Amino acid sequence: MQNLTVLGSTGSIGTSTLDVVARHPGKFQIVALTANSQADLLFRQCVQFKPRYAVMLDEDAAMQLRERVRAAGLGIEVLSGAAALEQVCVLPETDTVMAAIVGAAGLRPTLAAARAGKKILLANKETLVMAGNVFMDAVRASGSVLLPIDSEHNAIFQTLPRGYDGDLAKNGVRRILLTASGGPFRNTPLEELQHVTPEQACAHPNWSMGRKISVDSASMMNKGLEVIEAHWLFNAGADDIQVVVHPQSVIHSLVEYVDGSVLAQLGNPDMRIPIAYGLAWPERIDSGVAPLDLFKVATMDFTAPDFGRFPCLALAYQALRAAGTAPAILNAANEAAVAAFLDSRISFLSIPHVIEAVLDALPVGKVGSLDDVLGADADARRMAQQHIGDLVGARRAVPLLRPNI
């Protein structure tokens, strides 16, 4: 029996995790479920899975949940606030933590789980983007088991040699090929991107995801963040990671070896596959996903990414090469810009404009501690808000950037 805490249980990854768990009642026990403010859904999850703890980041939502749990006689302790997220990650009875909180909010609890030596199923890419060296040092120091859940990194993990030790050359690996769908605007005329709506950006052709991640996919910042994540997970340099646009989302990523072999992991675009792999590793269990029908797929296409169309991807490579606090600055500026776009305050093409402006304005510092990361994050958010305010005030169109990589 594996005892599991799910960070972000009401999001797309969290609900998919609980779907897999429900298929294997004899293998998993839920210790804690956490959410931001969706009290209704978290209550339903509490009724079904009967965790020992439920955590809500929002205090008002926690009060609502506490009353409903008490009225239902569930005997679940309802906690609130950021500190409670860390608390349920370090409980002695917790074996495994599914880190599925989106954005910078997931950093502290995921780091707490690493320091406590837990098995971590990492679906929060921002933890590595913002604080890669701090987090990986914690994993190594505690002996924590780290398994990637992003479909691309999970695919790479599956196709690298068993026991991969972080040395590409020693293991005969030439490069990592990170696939990307290209999102909903892969073929949209460039002049039309200025008028993209949040609803259009969130309509991903293959995957069902939250709004923030969907916008990141549309801008390909999601892939940029995954490039940085792959750097930390597999000790791969920027030149060792090639993004490949693969619209069908059937091949989730590939590893190219020095002998010319290329190994790929294939499957239907459903996050329950990597989740099930992470939950059961090193074994395999049923995920509930239908078998892949290659005859129905019929054709698979591959193209190089267009950095002119997707400047956010170029900016992510730029931040990775700059190292230090640059990835944290990139992530913070992107989160602020995407939130402004989803609120219809700035245009879709303004997202890379804001990010580039913040990267150019802030100095890149060294990362020796979590405080260095959080300081850079706060500075970048403040500066991003200034640029967003300027854009809103001027109400001017922002041209598509073409940063160099």
| Integer Cα distance of 249 and 122 in angstroms | 20
Domain 2-149 and domain 322-394 have a common topology: no
- For 33-83, the pLDDT digits (tens) are 999 999 999 999 999 999 999 999 999 999 999 999 999 999 999 999 999
- For 348-372, the pLDDT digits (tens) are 999 999 999 999 999 999 999 999 9
Residue 399: per-residue pLDDT: 52
Residue 319's closest CA among 227, 388, 182? 227
Other beta carbons within 10 angstroms of residue 129's beta carbon come to 29
Instruction: Supply φ then ψ for residue 235, to 5 degrees.
Output: 55, 50
- For 197-222, the pLDDT digits (tens) are 999 998 877 666 778 889 999 999 99
Residue 208: per-residue pLDDT: 62
Any idea where the domains of the chain sit in the sequence?
Answer: 2-149, 156-271+286-297, 322-394
| Integer Cα distance of 378 and 389 in angstroms | 17
| Integer Cα distance of 346 and 91 in angstroms | 42
Say if residues 92 and 53 touch (Cβ distance below 8 Å).
no
| Integer Cα distance of 321 and 327 in angstroms | 9
- Taken in order 95, 134, 36, 69, the sign of the CA dihedral is positive
- In this prediction, residue 241 has a pLDDT band, given cuts at 50, 70 and 90, of very high
Q: Is the pLDDT of residue 16 over 50?
A: yes
CATH 3.40.50.720 fits 2-149, yes or no: yes
Helices (H), 161-303: 198-201, 211-219, 221-234, 272-280, 294-297
Instruction: Give 302-333 as a DSSP string.
Output: -B---TTT-HHHHHHHHHHHH-TTHHHHHHHH
Q: Is the pLDDT of residue 405 over 60?
A: no
CATH topology of domain 322-394: Rna Polymerase Sigma Factor; Chain: A (1.10.1740)
Residue 17's closest CA among 25, 9, 26, 29? 9
- In this prediction, residue 91 has a pLDDT band, given cuts at 50, 70 and 90, of very high
- For 155-164, the pLDDT digits (tens) are 999 999 988 9
Query: Over the chain, what is the mean pLDDT?
Result: 94
| Integer Cα distance of 111 and 104 in angstroms | 11
Residue 211: per-residue pLDDT: 87
| Integer Cα distance of 191 and 399 in angstroms | 9
Helices (H), 145-186: 151-159
Q: CB neighbours of 255 closer than 8 A, spacing ≥ 6? A: 156, 159, 160, 173, 176, 177, 262, 263, 264
